[in-house]
Chain A
Amino acid sequence: MSEVVIQTKDLTRVYKRDQFEVTALKDASIEIRKGEFVALMGPSGSGKSTLLYLIAAMERPTSGTIDVLGQDLRALSDKQVAQWRNIHVGFVFQSFNLIPVLTAIENVELPLLLTNLNAKERREHATTALSLVGLGDRLTHLPKQLSGGQEQRVAIARALVTDPDLILADEPTGNLDSQSAQDVLTMLRTLNQEHGKTVVMVTHDPHAASFASKARYLEKGALLPEGHVPQDWFVRPA
Chain B
Amino acid sequence: MLRLLPLIFKNSLRSKRRSILTILSVTMSFTLLGVLFAMYNALYFEDPTPSQALRLITRNRISLTVILPASYKQKIKAVPGVQDLYISMWFGGTYKDQAQDQRNNFARFAVEPEDFFKVQKDLVLPEDQKQAFLKERTACLVGKRLADKLGIRLGERLVLKGDIFPGDKELMVRGIFEDPLADETLFFNIEYLYQSLPAGRRDFAGTFNILAKSKDDVSAIQRDVDEMFKNAPVQTRTETEAAFALSFVSFLGNVKVFLLVICGAVTFTILLVSANTMAMAVRERVREVGVMKTLGFTNGGILFLILGDAVVLSLVGAALGCLVASGLAAGVAANAGGFIAQFKNLSLTPPTVVFIFGFSVVVALISSFVPAMNAARTNILDTLKYSG
B288 touches A85 (CB 8 A): no
* Proximity bits, B1-15, A CB within 8 Å = 1, else 0: 001100100110110
Is B345 part of the contact surface with A, judged by Cβ < 8 Å?
no
- Taking CB atoms, residues of chain B closer than 8 Å to A158 are 295
Is A178 part of the contact surface with B, judged by Cβ < 8 Å?
no
Is A211 part of the contact surface with B, judged by Cβ < 8 Å?
no
Is B130 part of the contact surface with A, judged by Cβ < 8 Å?
no
A83 touches B298 (CB 8 A): yes
Give Cα A102–Cα B384 distance, bound, in whole angstroms. 19
- Taking CB atoms, residues of chain A closer than 8 Å to B290 are 97
Give Cα A158–Cα B10 distance, bound, in whole angstroms. 19
The A-contacting residues of B in range 73-97, CB under 8 angstroms, are none
B381 touches A87 (CB 8 A): no
Closest to B290 in A: A97
Option from A93, A114, A119 in Cβ contact (under 8 Å) with B296: A114
Closest to B300 in A: A79
A102 touches B296 (CB 8 A): no
Total A-B residue contacts, Cβ distance less than 8 Å: 64
Give Cα A15–Cα B291 distance, bound, in whole angstroms. 21
Give Cα A100–Cα B301 distance, bound, in whole angstroms. 19
B291 touches A78 (CB 8 A): no
Is A101 part of the contact surface with B, judged by Cβ < 8 Å?
yes
B10 touches A78 (CB 8 A): no
Give Cα A97–Cα B299 distance, bound, in whole angstroms. 19
A102 touches B294 (CB 8 A): no
A53 touches B381 (CB 8 A): yes
Give Cα A113–Cα B304 distance, bound, in whole angstroms. 14
Give Cα A191–Cα B290 distance, bound, in whole angstroms. 25
Is B293 part of the contact surface with A, judged by Cβ < 8 Å?
yes
A113 touches B298 (CB 8 A): no
Option from B4, B298, B384 in Cβ contact (under 8 Å) with A93: B384
Is A148 part of the contact surface with B, judged by Cβ < 8 Å?
no
A99 touches B291 (CB 8 A): yes
Is B292 part of the contact surface with A, judged by Cβ < 8 Å?
yes
Closest chain A CB from B337 CB (angstroms) = 48
Interface pairs (23), CB distance under 8 Å = A53-B381, A56-B294, A58-B293, A58-B380, A58-B381, A79-B300, A82-B293, A82-B299, A85-B294, A85-B295, A87-B296, A97-B288, A97-B291, A99-B288, A99-B292, A106-B10, A110-B7, A110-B292, A113-B3, A114-B295, A114-B296, A114-B297, A119-B3
Is B108 part of the contact surface with A, judged by Cβ < 8 Å?
no
B-side binding surface: helix, strand, loop or mixed?
helix
Closest chain B CB from A232 CB (angstroms) = 27
Closest to B6 in A: A106
B residues at A contact (CB < 8 Å): 3-4, 7, 10-11, 13-14, 287-288, 290-301, 380-381, 384
- Taking CB atoms, residues of chain B closer than 8 Å to A91 are 294-295
Closest to A111 in B: B295
- Taking CB atoms, residues of chain A closer than 8 Å to B13 are 101
A101 touches B381 (CB 8 A): no
B298 touches A82 (CB 8 A): yes
- Taking CB atoms, residues of chain B closer than 8 Å to A72 are none
Option from A53, A82, A93, A97 in Cβ contact (under 8 Å) with B297: A82
Known: A58-B381, A93-B291, A114-B301. A85 touches B296 (CB 8 A): yes
Is A86 part of the contact surface with B, judged by Cβ < 8 Å?
yes
B295 touches A86 (CB 8 A): yes
Closest chain A CB from B42 CB (angstroms) = 43
Closest chain A CB from B374 CB (angstroms) = 15
- Taking CB atoms, residues of chain A closer than 8 Å to B292 are 99, 110
Is A31 part of the contact surface with B, judged by Cβ < 8 Å?
no
Closest to B3 in A: A113
Closest chain A CB from B296 CB (angstroms) = 2
- Taking CB atoms, residues of chain A closer than 8 Å to B14 are 100-101
Q: Which of B290, B293, B297 counts the most chain A CB atoms within 10 A?
A: B297
* Proximity bits, A52-88, B CB within 8 Å = 1, else 0: 0100101100000000000000000011001101110
Give Cα A53–Cα B382 distance, bound, in whole angstroms. 12
Closest to A155 in B: B291
Closest chain A CB from B190 CB (angstroms) = 72
Known: A58-B380, A78-B298, A114-B297. A101 touches B11 (CB 8 A): yes
Q: Closest 8 interchain pairs by CB?
A: A86-B296, A97-B291, A111-B295, A82-B298, A58-B380, A101-B10, A101-B14, A79-B298
* Proximity bits, A87-123, B CB within 8 Å = 1, else 0: 1000101000101111000100011011000010000
B297 touches A59 (CB 8 A): no
Closest chain B CB from A42 CB (angstroms) = 18
Give Cα A83–Cα B294 distance, bound, in whole angstroms. 10
Closest chain A CB from B288 CB (angstroms) = 6
- Taking CB atoms, residues of chain A closer than 8 Å to B10 are 101-102, 106
- Taking CB atoms, residues of chain B closer than 8 Å to A114 are 295-297, 301
